[in-house]
Structures are given as C-alpha cells and as structure tokens.
Amino acid sequence: MTKNELRKQLRARRREHVAALPDSMRTLVFMRPPAPLLELVPDDAIIGLYRANPYEAPAASYAKHFFEQGHELALPRFAARGAPMEFAHFADPFEEGDLEIGPFGLLQPKGDVPTNAPSVLFVPLVGFTERGDRLGQGGGHYDRWLASHSATAAIGLAWDCQLVDDLPTEPHDIPLTAVVTPTRIYGPFA
C-alpha cells in the first residue's frame, strides 16, 4: 500500500474513532502529559506544539500545562505556502490572541513574533508504528524541520486507532522519540 493510500485509510479510521467518542471523553484525554513523558522534557525546554484539526489528537491542554510550568511555547508558522515551516513564540495558549490565519488557512503566530527552535516538539500524525515510524500529512514539513534540528525530541500525539504494524519509510522520514496515546506511551525509542 502506498503512503497516500495509507493516509486515506488511516484518516477515515481516525475520523470514525473520534466521531464515536462521547464529548465527555474528548475533554478528558490529553489533558496533562503523563509522568513518564515529563521525564523526556528538560526544565528549560522550549516546547513546540501544533493546533489540532477536529480529528487529530488535541495538543491545546498540553500547551496550557507546559505554559503553566514556565516553559516557552512555539507553534509552526509559514510565511507563504511554498515557504519552509518555522516555529515562532506562542505566548497565549488560553486565549490565542497572538495568532493569525496563515497561508494554509490555519491559525499560526503572527508574522512579527520572533522565531524560536523547540527542543521538544509534539507532532501530529496520521499513523505510527510501535518502533516510532510516523506517517504525516504528506507535505514533509516536520521531517524537513526535524532533519535540520536533529537534537529536538519529536513526540507524536495519536489516538490508539492510528497504530499500524508497519509503514513504508524513506530515508528522509524522521522517526519519533516517543508516541503518546490515551492509553499508552510508546518509547522512548533509541
């Protein structure tokens, strides 16, 4: 199966899974990073996160948690559709007043906000394996960014239904440090 075929199949599986969750359950999952995960986060780490679409594992509560613990936050930002992804300071995880709509129609830090490089990066995904392989949206933005920031720990947030036995990988695919689901932590991987 090709990556695009897998993406289609896994997106449908994820959509069905999330649609079946009671609203009360959706508000409870991913509220606070589990203690073993916090061991991967240095006290002075800049935390990179993402703004989840309705079917992705939510990262907003993690943003609030790390902000309250005194960490600097960062979100992805694009200057234009063809521009490389960068990370910029995210100062308002409660009201999101420091965000604007970017070239992909998603909220991102305003253009005048300084960039910063996360040392721990929570990444969205479409699928993952128990070995830390990740299937993303297909644009390669996270793989390219992580390739040039090899010291950054990349931690996937996912629903349990996104786990697959195997994924086709290519040399440019960057493996994850760990994956967190509502029921388990996979990794850290060597």
- What pLDDT, on a 0 to 100 scale, did the predictor assign at position 27? 65
Find the DSSP H helices in 69-111: none
Contact 16, 153 (CB under 8 A): no
Question: Residue 37's pLDDT is what?
Answer: 92
This prediction's pTM: 0.90
The pLDDT-based confidence of 26 (bands split at 50, 70, 90) is low
Cα gap 173→42, rounded to integer Å? 25
CB 87 within 8 A of CB 76: yes
The SS3 call for residue 37 is helix
SS3 category, 162: helix
